[in-house]
């Protein structure tokens, strides 16, 4: 219990940063082999703030505060942490028996799940104002237990229809008021209209200028663009500021795809893997044709891109900017890339600068551990995840209330 509590009770900002690094390994589009994650994350924050590759369904944004509030009734902080974990395991069991299990976290691991949904969603709860605390989960539970003890000593107020007073430190009482009477015995991923309206309002209020808010405010269908937000049929209607970010995000995604392909080609060659070598050469030639086409990089300016990023306060290292500029320069020069010596040296140098002696292109042991495909997925800036969350909210808002 002590180790679990200490893990949760680290400095919340540092914890969020550490978790963001771990998140990257969940999705092959986010593994950061060439060190561009800071750029990817900065764009994602502008478009879809609070989102994470670990998110699955919208109702977790309510499940977590409900579970945390329940755990605050424990006798002390350690007991509250234990109760939160038990509550999350119970929730997994209930959801596993529901009709809709898509996006269920921990369905296989159950009680053995190491990282619970509360840890995955905590940063989002704070980003959207559902949690108003800057503390870690354990810190908030400690505050909540102390608050509960004090309120038990004070004269009791009349209970409302939802039970005892719903004031809990660091949690939005409006979220707690939405807790169903049958919670958690009948939990499902289906949002009620009131829940959908609440989540919609929280995201729109917290990040009104984001593309996330625009999709919710305009009630735009998200089922028509599965892979990339720039493929959405309403892309021409995006607010000007967001349209600018989307276009820069698209261009950088295309640019980075080529670097990832060349990196994997070099690994395949070093591994003497003829099949993968042939495949990556073909993929690079196809990518080169895309870059030269209307959906390529003809009108993209890295200088404007850096200015835009600088305006957000994003911390992009000088070596990262230099790598991107040099890679773009080679691509824009019309180089064939596949056999370009300068391009290959740039990729190899970038890997060495990031990994040192662990770089696969210089370390046979690291090369032998290569899976055959590293960071090949094109950057999506969490669009598939956000698309699912938005769809949940839209669906919940359309549910007819049964009287």
> How many Å apart are CA 247 and CA 245, to the nearest integer?
5
- Is the pLDDT at 185 greater than 80? The verdict is yes
- For residues 23 and 266, which has the higher predicted lDDT (pLDDT)? 266
- Binned at pLDDT 50, 70 and 90, residue 148 comes out as confident
Can you name the residues that pair with 160 across neighbouring β-strands?
Answer: 163
- Is the pLDDT at 88 greater than 50? The verdict is yes
- Binned at pLDDT 50, 70 and 90, residue 9 comes out as very low
- Percent of the chain scoring above 90 in pLDDT: 81
Q: Is 396 exposed, middle or buried (0-12, 13-18, 19+ CB in 10 A)?
A: buried
> How many Å apart are CA 251 and CA 299, to the nearest integer?
9
Calculate the average pLDDT of the chain: 90
> How many Å apart are CA 199 and CA 96, to the nearest integer?
24
Angle at 72 between CA 69 and CA 76, to 5 degrees: 170
In this predicted structure, what is the pLDDT of residue 163?
A: 44
- Residue 379's SS3 state is coil
> How many Å apart are CA 387 and CA 384, to the nearest integer?
5
Question: Residue 167: how many CB atoms within 10 A of its CB?
Answer: 13
Tell me the H-state helices in 97-210.
Answer: 117-127, 137-153, 173-177, 193-206
Lowest mean pLDDT of 243-252, 273-282, 290-299, 342-351, name the range. Answer: 290-299
Contact 206, 73 (CB under 8 A): no
Distances (CA, A) of 207 to 45, 49, 138, 171, 213: 10, 7, 26, 19, 7
Can you name the residues that pair with 163 across neighbouring β-strands?
Answer: 160
**φ, ψ at 185 (rounded to 5°):** -60, -30
Structure tokens at 387: 């698309």
> How many Å apart are CA 349 and CA 371, to the nearest integer?
21
> How many Å apart are CA 121 and CA 182, to the nearest integer?
23
Contact 51, 382 (CB under 8 A): yes
Segment 55-68 mean pLDDT: 98
Task: Provide the 8-state DSSP code for 171.
Answer: B
| Residue among 381, 274, 353, 339 at smallest CA distance from 53 | 381
Contact 60, 95 (CB under 8 A): no
Task: Provide the 8-state DSSP code for 156.
Answer: P
Lowest mean pLDDT of 22-26, 105-109, 269-273, 375-379, name the range. Answer: 22-26
In this predicted structure, what is the pLDDT of residue 399?
A: 85
Question: Residue 130: how many CB atoms within 10 A of its CB?
Answer: 26
In this predicted structure, what is the pLDDT of residue 16?
A: 47
State the angle between helix axes of 318-332 and 37-47 in degrees (0 to 180), rounded to the nearest 10. 90
**φ, ψ at 160 (rounded to 5°):** -80, -175
> How many Å apart are CA 214 and CA 88, to the nearest integer?
32
- For residues 4 and 260, which has the higher predicted lDDT (pLDDT)? 260
Alpha carbon of residue 329 to chain centroid:
30
Question: Residue 273: how many CB atoms within 10 A of its CB?
Answer: 15
| Residue among 27, 25, 81 at smallest CA distance from 56 | 27
In this predicted structure, what is the pLDDT of residue 401?
A: 57
- Binned at pLDDT 50, 70 and 90, residue 155 comes out as low
pLDDT digits (tens, 9 = 90+) for 112-132: 999 999 999 999 999 999 999
- Binned at pLDDT 50, 70 and 90, residue 49 comes out as very high
Q: Which residues contact 61 (CB under 8 A, 6 or more apart)?
A: 121, 124, 125, 128, 130, 199, 202
Q: Which residues contact 126 (CB under 8 A, 6 or more apart)?
A: 132, 133, 134
């Amino acid at each position: 219990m002590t180790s679990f509590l200490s893990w949760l009770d680290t400095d919340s900002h540092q914890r969020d940063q550490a978790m963001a690094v771990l998140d990257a390994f969940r999705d092959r589009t986010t593994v950061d082999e060439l060190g561009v994650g800071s750029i990817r994350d900065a764009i994602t924050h502008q478009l879809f703030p609070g989102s994470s590759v670990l998110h699955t369904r919208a109702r977790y944004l309510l499940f977590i505060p409900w579970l945390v509030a329940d755990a605050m009734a424990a006798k002390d902080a350690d007991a509250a942490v234990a109760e939160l974990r038990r509550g999350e395991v119970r929730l997994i069991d209930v959801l596993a028996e529901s009709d809709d299990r898509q996006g269920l976290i921990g369905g296989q691991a159950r009680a053995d799940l190491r990282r619970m949904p509360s840890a995955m969603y905590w940063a989002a709860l704070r980003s959207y104002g559902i949690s108003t605390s800057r503390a870690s989960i354990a810190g908030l539970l400690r505050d909540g237990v102390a608050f509960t003890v004090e309120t038990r000593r004070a004269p009791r107020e009349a209970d409302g229809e939802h039970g005892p007073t719903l004031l809990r430190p660091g949690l939005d009482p409006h979220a707690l008021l939405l807790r169903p009477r049958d919670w958690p015995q009948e939990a499902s991923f289906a949002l009620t209209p009131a829940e959908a309206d609440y989540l919609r309002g929280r995201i729109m209020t917290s990040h009104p200028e984001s593309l996330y808010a625009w999709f919710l405010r305009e009630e735009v269908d998200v089922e028509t663009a599965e892979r990339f937000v720039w493929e959405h049929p309403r892309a021409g209607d995006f607010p000007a500021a967001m349209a600018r970010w989307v276009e820069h995000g698209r261009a950088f995604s295309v640019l980075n795809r080529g670097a990832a392909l060349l990196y994997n080609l070099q690994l395949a060659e070093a591994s003497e893997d003829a099949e993968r070598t042939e495949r990556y050469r073909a993929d690079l030639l196809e990518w080169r044709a895309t870059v030269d086409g209307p959906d390529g990089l003809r009108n993209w300016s890295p200088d404007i891109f850096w200015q835009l990023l600088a305006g957000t306060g994003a911390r992009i290292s000088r070596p990262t900017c230099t790598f991107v500029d040099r890679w773009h320069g080679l691509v824009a020069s019309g180089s064939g890339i596949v056999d370009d010596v300068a391009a290959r040296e740039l990729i190899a140098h970038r890997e060495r600068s990031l990994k040192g002696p662990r770089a696969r292109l210089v370390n046979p042991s690291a090369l032998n551990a290569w899976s055959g495909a590293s960071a090949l997925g094109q950057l999506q800036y969490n669009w598939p995840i956000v698309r699912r969350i938005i769809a949940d909210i839209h669906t919940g808002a359309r549910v007819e209330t049964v009287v």
